[in-house]
Structure 1
Amino acid sequence: MRALKLQGRTVAMIAIIVPLVLVFAYVAMRSGPLAPVKVTVVRAQEGTVSPALFGIGTVEARHTHRIGPTLAGRVKRVDVHVGDRVRAGQLIGEMDAVDLSDRVRAQEATLKRAQAGIREAEARQAFAQAQARRYDKLSALQATSEELAITRRQEREIAEAGLIAAREALAGAQSERAALVAQLDNLKLVAPVDGVVTLREAEPGTTVVAGQAVVELIDPASLWINLRLDQVNAGGLASDLSADIVLRSRSAETLPGRVLRVEPKADAVTEELLAKVVFEHPPEPIPPIGELAEVTVALPLVQAAVVIPNAALRREAGEVGVWQVKEGRLQFAPLKLGATDLDGRVQVREGLTEGDEIVLYSERALSRDSRIDVVPSLPGAER
């Protein structure tokens, strides 16, 4: 009787424990570390990609004109302000002449004296020539001594040399006056091109040295973007490619442009390629120099091929590929990739065919032995 009671208890315990074990195993296989990995899948499709490059640049002026005096002096007046538009040849300021006008008048007096000196030298030369001819005739008739004839010829040569010296003095005085007038003209600050004033670096009364800028101008038609692109992703960059420019201050507006040139010297520190991108039409109003701009450069289209999302790419054992789903099991497929676009698609040259099913997102890392559970989506996978 006692044995029957023990046997009944054992059977009861087994009846309780076995379902619990089964439930635990089921739970462990479905929600624990042994549970299948939830994944989303996508099929490889035939298509084309529109490759493009994206980079950040700054607005710069190709031609900047820094206008200032050629000699040290004091600023007399500045007639323009920052933001003003000026025309080529427009007077925009002037330096204080100090004593330069007096020096020009003094040089004009010197010039008049030199001109009077020439007239005097010409008169002396004419008199000396006449005397020399007269005494030469008298000497031929033996009406005077040879010594007097020689003396008159020497006086003629001296008069001719004096005339030459007077002419040299006149030329020197004219050159000095021309130099002073040129200096006086250089005191006028004139715009060399049509442009916009970007800097006013000196105010009236300020003393500046030779070559120091008083006003800075830029030509609005010469604006361009100094673009920087990562060297790794800059393949295919070339001049004359079309580009879309979005200024930081005008994020809702896309301005057309093109690549003017690719700089022959790259930035070795930041590992970037440099390019100059110009606007197809000068933007209005003119953007500030130094403003950041986002530039998208369109590369030439490529031939149609198998295309997959680049989010599906994985690296296993040093190879880049995707996890391919075949008959419910995982298989890693190494790929040879081609061009990519800014929409997150990549071209597959080798390794997949159209219609192959691959893993797009997974809730954790995968391996060949991983069991998977295909679901429509994973929370937060597309963020």
Structure 2
Amino acid sequence: MKFALGRRWPLILLAVVLLGAFAFAMFRTGPLAPIRVTVHTVADGTVTPSLFGIGTVEAQRSYAIGPTAAGRLLSVEADVGDTVIAGQVLGRLDPVDLNARIAALDASLARAGNAVIAAQAQQRDAAAKAKVTAIEAKRYDTLADQKFVSPSAVEARAQANTSARAAVDAAAASVAAAQDDLTRLQAEREALVAQQRNLTLVAPVDGVITARQAEPGNTVVAGQAVLQMIDPSSLWVRTRIDQNRAAGLAEGLDARIELRSHAGDAHMGKVVRVELLSDPVTEERIARVRCDRAFKEGSVGEMAEVTISLPPSDAGPIVPNAALRHINGEKGVWRITEGKPRFVPVSTGAESLDGNIRILNGLSSGDTVVVHAERPLKDGARIKPVEVITGLKR
């Protein structure tokens, strides 16, 4: 009996050791072990919030160059990529019979000018005759007072004077009509000359040709673009900002522009316009951002990453955004009190792109909060602060 019991002692001892090892594993690394967490000590500071958006490079001032009347292209004297200056000839249209019509009007203008001269001469002649008849009528009035001439002779001279004055009025009307005819012909000629000028396509400003949409021999209609050009000094970035994060977006804010073709090469600029209309499909607001210096690289239509700096927040408690939790529809953090986590509701303010967020109430400087935990926490759970949680599944 004693011999059998002696042989069981090693087995009992082994069982006790195994049971102890299992209990140790359960309380140190198993489900009963303290939950490993990383912590952060709350400190007062300021947050500089930013807005991030994706945009495309566009030209604020672009021009479609074409005729104002239908015609056939004789020549196109610029191509895509050409740099042009204001007033430079870019193309010409066939004038057809326009030059002949202008020549005909020139002849009509010469004839109308001669008609004005003739009418003015007739007016002067009529005025001279009226002056003579007026003198004679006055003299006959004097002779009639002295009984040297008969009343019928006085009446005849008065009638002659009246007719002469009517002739003066008629001559004046003829001069006015001739001048009106001359003015009409001059206006018609100016209209044809303006139409002739419109047959020459010129650059309205200094710029760069971006599209050529017709070739010599093509027939174009009024308003059709033959060439398109932009003012390269007016380039800006049409930026889309998520509406959920667009609070504070306003004109005049500083911005950082990074073209996709020049990653890491930042251009500083400003928000020059915030569009009144948002995109209801993508739920984004539209902002126009202009660079402080003209783009010397990149291309119109190129993608760009834009970071807009908002005014910094006031000083107060700052925590990492990763420390925030949503439990039962309430936003808060796990604050460590006497070594135990306690869920504390908080109100948040400005947030920076590097993950820091301003706490408006609920925390004070010096508080310790949980940033990451290897398992979901509960109030009063056993925790073990560590520097890094290895093997954490995200």
Q: TM-score higher than 0.5 here?
A: yes
Contact 1:361 1:381 in 2 (8 A): no
User: Aligned equivalents of 2:312 and 2:13: distance in 1?
Assistant: 69
Map of 1:203 onto structure 2: 215
Partners of 2:347 and 2:385 lie apart in 1 by: 26
2:329 aligns with 318
Distance 2:375 2:60 in 1: 52
Query: What SS does the corresponding residue of 1:98 show, helix, strand or coil?
Result: coil
User: 1:352/1:153 Cα in 2 relative to 1: closer, same or farther (>3 Å)?
Assistant: closer
AA partner of residue 38 (structure 2): T
**Deviations for 1:308-350, whole angstroms, at most 9, x for unmatched residues?**
1111111112111112233332211211222211111112222
Is 1:180 matched up with 2:178?
Answer: no
Partners of 1:332 and 1:312 in 2: how far apart? 11
Residue of structure 1 equivalent to 2:144: none
1:364 paired residue among 370, 375, 384: 375
Quick one: distance in 2 between partners of 1:198 and 1:105?
A: 38
- In the TM superposition, what whole-angstrom CA distance separates every residue of 1:39-78 from its partner, at most 9, and x where no partner exists? 2222223333222211112212111122211111112222
CA distance in 2, matches of 1:170, 1:331: 98
Tell me what 1:73 maps to: 71
Q: What amino acid is aligned across from residue 110 of structure 2 in structure 1? A: K
What secondary structure is seen at the aligned counterpart in 2 of 1:348? strand
Letter in 1 for 2:40: V
The corresponding residue for 1:38 is: 36
- Deviation, 1:373, is 3.6
Q: Tell whether the 8 Å contact from 1:242 to 1:259 is kept in structure 2 after alignment.
A: yes
Q: State the distance in 1 between where 2:183 and 2:163 align.
A: 30
Q: Which of 366, 382, 388 lines up with 1:355 in the alignment? A: 366
Q: Which whole-Å CA distance do the structure 2 matches of 1:65 and 1:371 have between them?
A: 70
* 308-317 or 133-142: bigger deviation: 133-142
CA gap of 1:134–1:382, structure 2 versus 1, over 3 A, is farther
CA 1:52–1:145 in 2, change beyond 3 Å: closer, same or farther? Answer: same
- CA drift at 1:181: 0.8
Change (3 A) 1:112 1:376: same
Q: How many Å separate the matches in 2 of 1:380 and 1:145? A: 132
Partner of 2:183: 171
Once the two structures are superposed, residues 99-123 of structure 1 have per-residue CA deviations (whole angstroms, 9 ceiling, x without a partner) of 1111111111121222233334344
Q: Does 1:235 align with 2:232?
A: no
Q: Matched residues in 1 for 2:49 and 2:315: separation?
A: 12
State the partner residue of 1:345: 356
CA distance in structure 1 between the partners assigned to 2:169 and 2:361 by the alignment: 101
- Aligned-CA RMSD value: 3.2
Shift of 1:148: 8.9
Task: Please tell me whether residue 305 in structure 1 is matched to residue 316 in structure 2.
Answer: yes
Q: Please state if 1:60 is matched with 2:77.
A: no
Gaps of at least 5 residues in structure 1 are: none
Q: Distance in 1 between matches of 2:119 and 2:393?
A: 100
C-alpha deviation, 1:24, in angstroms = 4.3
**Aligned counterparts of 1:257 and 1:290: Cα–Cα separation in 2:** 18
Aligned to 2:143: none
Distance (whole Å) between structure 2 residues aligned to residue 47 and residue 148 of structure 1: 109
Of 309-318 and 265-274, deviating more is: 265-274
Q: Secondary structure at the match of 1:49?
A: coil
- Among 240, 245, 257, the alignment partner of 1:245 is 257
Q: Is the 1:104–1:177 contact (alpha carbons within 8 Å) kept by the matching residues of 2?
A: yes
> Are the counterparts in 2 of residues 138 and 144 from structure 1 also a CA contact under 8 Å?
no
Aligned residue number for residue 299 of structure 2 = 288
Contact 2:54 2:239 in 1 (8 A): yes
Structure 1 counterpart of 2:220, which letter?
V
Q: Please, what TM-score do these two structures have when normalized by structure 2?
A: 0.84
Structure 2, unaligned runs of 5 or more: 141-148
| Deviation (angstroms), 1:145 | 6.3
On the 8 A contact 1:196/1:220 being kept in 2, the answer is yes
Q: Which moved more, 1:177-186 or 1:109-118?
A: 109-118
Using the TM superposition, name which of 83-92 and 242-251 deviates more.
83-92
Distance 1:138 1:316, change over 3 A: same
Distance 1:129 1:328, change over 3 A: closer
Q: How far did residue 247 of structure 1 move?
A: 0.9
**In 2, distance between residues paired with 1:235 and 1:317?**
26
Alpha-carbon distance, 1:222 to partner:
1.4
Deviates more, 1:44-53 or 1:71-80: 44-53
Q: Which residue of 1 aligns with 2:100?
A: 102
Instruction: Name the CA distance, whole Å, in 2 between partners of 1:147 and 1:48.
Output: 106
Trace 1:104-183 onto structure 2 (pairs within 5 A): 104-127=102-125, 142=153, 149=160, 158-183=170-195
Aligned residues of 1:257 and 1:277 also touching (Cα < 8 A): yes
- Cα shift readout 1:340-381 (whole Å, capped 9, x = no counterpart): 111111122222233322221122322225433433312476
What CA distance in whole angstroms lies between the structure 1 residues aligned with 2:372 and 2:70?
A: 71
TM-score (norm 1): 0.86
